[in-house]
Structure 1
Amino acid sequence: MKLLFAASEMFPLIKTGGLADVAHSLPNALAELGVDVRVVIPAYRTVLDRLTQMRVLGWLKLSAGTEVRILEAMHPEMKMPLWLVDAPTAFDRVGDPYTGANQQDWPDNPTRFALLSEAAASLAMDGLSLGWQADAVHANDWQTGLLPAYLSVETQPPRTVFTVHNIAYDCQFDFGTFQSLHLPAHWWSMELGEFYGRFSMLKAGLMFSDVLTTVSPRYADEIRTPEYGYGYAPILSAVSDKLVGILNGIDDITWNPRTDKHLVAHYQAGGKVRAGKRANRQALLTAMGASEEVIQQPVPLIGSVGRLVYQKGIDLLLDAIPPLLERTNAKFVLIGTGEAKLMHQLEALSKTHPDRVFSHLGYSETLAHQLEAGCDIFAMPSRYEPCGLNQMYSLCYGTPPVVRETGGLADTVVDATPRSIARGEANGFVFTEPTTHALQAAIERALELFEQPKQWMKLIKTGMRAEYGWKQSAQAYLDVYGAD
């Protein structure tokens, strides 16, 4: 089977979120199952700087008269060729893929990602006459929402799959922009891409694709409700017959405590868990600037890493820390960047409690890995979480997560109750209401069980022995692609 996988980012070349991880891991897993995959991403300046071997495949002329160059590259961490849409006016600029230095969306995002989608559609139909035509096309999020639409006008189009990684993010524009993109006039209709008087690239993906997927079964249900649907719930309910929830996997080569290159000590469920975690805890706290006295204190360490935004419930965690410092002997390590108010609140906590609250404002791959290995508990109190990866990293690293019952968190974490522990099913702690009080209570439950070493080790090993890789999910995607 020939598959074209289109995305706007891909780890390790360019990453802003979980989409990049999926665009790296899922195509690799599919290639291992025998699929002939091509991954299409934009030729951002950062991407070109990180690739050394490239060749020109050819030039595509798009509907607006724009001509783009297509490059082919290989990367040592990818098992298939990468096809890069090289359009310097669209992608060769300073900033992240979607926003400039002022953190505002690039005003020409509709033009940039319509170009990506149209180029990908042409490549899927062998527009460069390479003798390679896709049997299926997998588009991801609003940036490739127009890809199924462009393929819909072909005589014999490939099967199209569109994955919503986070429905809170879309791209809408007015009728003037719609006309400037030279899109077919009938696409501006309530049945296709028009969305409350504007055009939505996300809705185009929902309506034109043959199969619609989300990144966890629970999230597939949640986005059909007003609370989580961001205005798209009625549309998703109307197309529910083609909606499938497939849980993301994780890169279990990069995220593996037995081999992780970022760790100072390796360990596995079968042995050396305590010693391994103790050594990584020391390395983490040393890197965070803790004194030797603090490092040696045998108290529980609670960690969190990710975007400091309200979606992630970081405000709940920051509000819960002061009472937890009073009621328990726990220490906290938080790594991330995001909204200014939350960063300032975290900085203030660190300054007020310098020996108990440690923070790193920014992202560090090494610190993120050491946090997963060195902490005893991982806090992930998201208000909503389409899938989530950190809770699965935590389970692999023997760091039971405390999560809210939503999306992929609900699909992967089993609350530690007496019954679930006895049955060997428990792997973490779950709370329901998105409140500081509920989060605090869940963390206190975790700290109580932490004081029971045998029960705690049973919890750890249940999490570490489970399978979180991509093999099962990749097979589920093969099914929706229609592979024989």
Structure 2
Amino acid sequence: MSATKKQVPGGGKLKVLFITSEAVPFCKTGGLADVAGSLTPKLAELGADVRVVMPLYGSIGTIWRERMTDEAEFPLNLGWRKQYCGIKTLDHLGIKWHFVDNEFYYRRESLYGYGDDGERFCFLSKAALDMLPAVGFKPDILHCNDWQTAPVPLLMNAGYKATAGLKSAISIFTIHSMAYQGVMSPQILDDVLGLSRPEYFRPDRLEFNKAVNLMKGAIVFSDAITTVSRSYAEEILTAWFGEGLDGLLREYSFKLSGIVNGIDTKSYDPSTDRHIFMNYDKDHMDGKAANKTGVQRMLGLGQGGDKVLISIISRLISQKGLDLVIRIAEEVLQDPETQLAVLGTGDPKYEEFFRALAARHPGRVAAKIYFDEDLARKLYAGSDIFLMPSAFEPCGLSQLIAMRYGTLPVVRETGGLKDTVKPYNKFTGEGTGFSFVNYNAHELLETIWKAVAVFRYERDVWDGLVRGAMSLDSSWEKAAGEYLKLYGSLFAKGAKPAKE
């Protein structure tokens, strides 16, 4: 049964325009790319008519460009500017991908980090709307993501909603992280977007500490706001997590909800993964031990005995709770049978710490200060414990992958970690990992020792936890179904799918 037909009044096929600044497999800097590349095909599988709009970056490879067709070309008005806009279309995974072409804005070395980023992504937002007549698409849902597409709900309010095909369209804004909000000079309103500064540069609209905050505008003007876990949706209503917008989010909390991201369970499948040493599943776990031995040998770590292998696969930044790890690492390693493997890059402070730790503990600590997908998968499969004590974590995907491979996570109860990892309960024997509440090194240390004790002395309990973790449904199908349910609930309030 189609989830879309069940949710949309009248049984019509829901039309979704998903607007993003990045998506796998074309380009990636963070988790948004995984969401855009995985959620959209799943929405299409469940019956929606999905189109994706994103920039045609210079880094997008020839293998993709050769498959694109020229869909449209038109001049795009951006304030006083009249810029070339091309739309190139690619059919991939059952959906149409519309790439916005402008070499001045997008043919650059990196995706972000330029002084005119505000102008670049206002261009993307306007192009996503202006292209619709040319590509013959009348969306029911415009699904925007992070500050780079935040101008879309604002432009809808400023006049686009009144145009043909968008009168009943609904805008949804998904916050993947509150840390990046698109704070710009007020000049962007009139000089770039062509809007009245007195009308929109107000405390109840886009004004934020004497600047324009594009994310704030999307929160105000979108029809619904989502974020990537239920707990993060609650956390951002507080000053600690709200990054200055907690008061505004409390005001608009009536339209805020959290939907946990998924992972690609076909790709991340220990029974078929070609990267790992031996395939296995929850009913045939011999391969798990073989993977542990294989990755230990590969990293120069000791094998056999009661050794417990703890891994960290992460960007090495403060958000990931590494300051806590620094404080307890030597104490953890006082147990001669405990090993640590670290894979990732980031802040030089953390890179140097783990390099030095490995030098002090040869054969027990491996620090690989780079990222390698093949080694990451081998570590997910071969580790016993996965460490993720984040200071904050909107959703997190690594803990989902670890559980998929039967590696139990030790996490702090924040954001998506709280929603996805069920802490071990010694009285019921239930759980899918281990967790602690406060951002405190002693609590982390205690939780690690708790996990190690169960691993060593209650092996039947440990094996049950592993099987439970591997049985979790972390698929994108589950998340896509929740998004379709949200889309349907918005239409149930009075909106109707657009007519062809």
TM (norm. structure 2) is 0.90
- Does 1:181 find its partner at 2:181? no
In the alignment, what sits opposite 1:205? 218
Listed as ranges, the matches of 1:385-404 within 5 Å are 385-404=393-412
Alpha-carbon deviations, 1:233-277, whole Å to 9, x = none?
Answer: 000000011001111111111111111221121111111x2x212
Residue type matched to 2:35 in 1?
V
The alpha-carbon deviation at position 466 of structure 1 amounts to 1.6
In the alignment, what sits opposite 2:451? 446
Residue type matched to 1:58 in 2?
A
In the alignment, what sits opposite 1:234? 247
- Does 1:347 find its partner at 2:349? no
The alpha-carbon deviation at position 341 of structure 1 amounts to 0.9
Listed as ranges, the matches of 1:95-244 within 5 Å are 95=110, 97-98=111-112, 105-123=113-131, 126-128=132-134, 130-152=135-157, 153-154=159-160, 155=162, 156=167, 158-185=169-196, 186-244=199-257
SS in 1 for 2:262: coil
Which whole-Å CA distance do the structure 2 matches of 1:309 and 1:248 have between them? 22
- Does 1:278 find its partner at 2:289? yes
In the alignment, what sits opposite 1:81? 96
Q: Does structure 2 retain, via aligned residues, the 8 Å contact 1:377–1:402?
A: yes
Which whole-Å CA distance do the structure 1 matches of 2:294 and 2:70 have between them? 45
In the alignment, what sits opposite 2:469? 463
Which whole-Å CA distance do the structure 2 matches of 1:255 and 1:109 have between them? 34
The alpha-carbon deviation at position 50 of structure 1 amounts to 4.5
The alpha-carbon deviation at position 479 of structure 1 amounts to 2.2
Unpaired runs of 5+ residues, structure 1, are 99-104
Match of residue 46, structure 2, among 23, 26, 33:
33
The alpha-carbon deviation at position 74 of structure 1 amounts to 3.0
SS in 2 for 1:127: helix
Which whole-Å CA distance do the structure 2 matches of 1:127 and 1:202 have between them? 27
SS in 2 for 1:85: strand
Residue type matched to 1:365 in 2?
E
Which whole-Å CA distance do the structure 1 matches of 2:248 and 2:58 have between them? 37
In the alignment, what sits opposite 1:254? 267
In the alignment, what sits opposite 1:68? 85
Report 1 or 2 for greater relative contact order, CA contacts < 8 Å, sequence distance ≥ 6.
Answer: 2
Q: Does structure 2 retain, via aligned residues, the 8 Å contact 1:5–1:40?
A: yes
Which whole-Å CA distance do the structure 2 matches of 1:8 and 1:245 have between them? 21
- Does 1:91 find its partner at 2:97? no
Q: Does structure 1 retain, via aligned residues, the 8 Å contact 2:422–2:433?
A: yes
Of 38-47 and 279-288, the range deviating more from structure 2: 279-288
Count of residues in correspondence between the two structures: 464
Q: Does structure 2 retain, via aligned residues, the 8 Å contact 1:60–1:127?
A: no
Alpha-carbon deviations, 1:165-200, whole Å to 9, x = none?
Answer: 111112111123443213311222222222121011
The alpha-carbon deviation at position 414 of structure 1 amounts to 1.4
The alpha-carbon deviation at position 298 of structure 1 amounts to 4.6
TM (norm. structure 1) is 0.93
The alpha-carbon deviation at position 461 of structure 1 amounts to 0.7
The alpha-carbon deviation at position 82 of structure 1 amounts to 1.0
Listed as ranges, the matches of 1:311-322 within 5 Å are 311-322=319-330
Match of residue 475, structure 1, among 472, 481, 499:
481
Unpaired runs of 5+ residues, structure 2, are 1-13, 493-500
Of 430-439 and 277-286, the range deviating more from structure 2: 277-286
Which whole-Å CA distance do the structure 2 matches of 1:175 and 1:408 have between them? 34
Which whole-Å CA distance do the structure 2 matches of 1:296 and 1:457 have between them? 18
Alpha-carbon deviations, 1:38-81, whole Å to 9, x = none?
Answer: 11111111224341311110113222211211101134xx3212
Which whole-Å CA distance do the structure 1 matches of 2:445 and 2:103 have between them? 49
Residue type matched to 1:25 in 2?
S
Q: Does structure 2 retain, via aligned residues, the 8 Å contact 1:6–1:40?
A: yes
SS in 2 for 1:327: coil
Q: Does structure 2 retain, via aligned residues, the 8 Å contact 1:162–1:213?
A: yes
Residue type matched to 2:170 in 1?
R
* Counterparts in 2 of 1:179 and 1:386: CA distance versus 1, 3 Å: same
Which whole-Å CA distance do the structure 2 matches of 1:328 and 1:122 have between them? 63
Alpha-carbon deviations, 1:19-50, whole Å to 9, x = none?
Answer: 11111111111011011101111111122434
SS in 2 for 1:326: coil
Of 275-284 and 240-249, the range deviating more from structure 2: 275-284
Residue type matched to 1:268 in 2?
D
Q: Does structure 2 retain, via aligned residues, the 8 Å contact 1:59–1:68?
A: yes
RMSD after superposition: 1.6
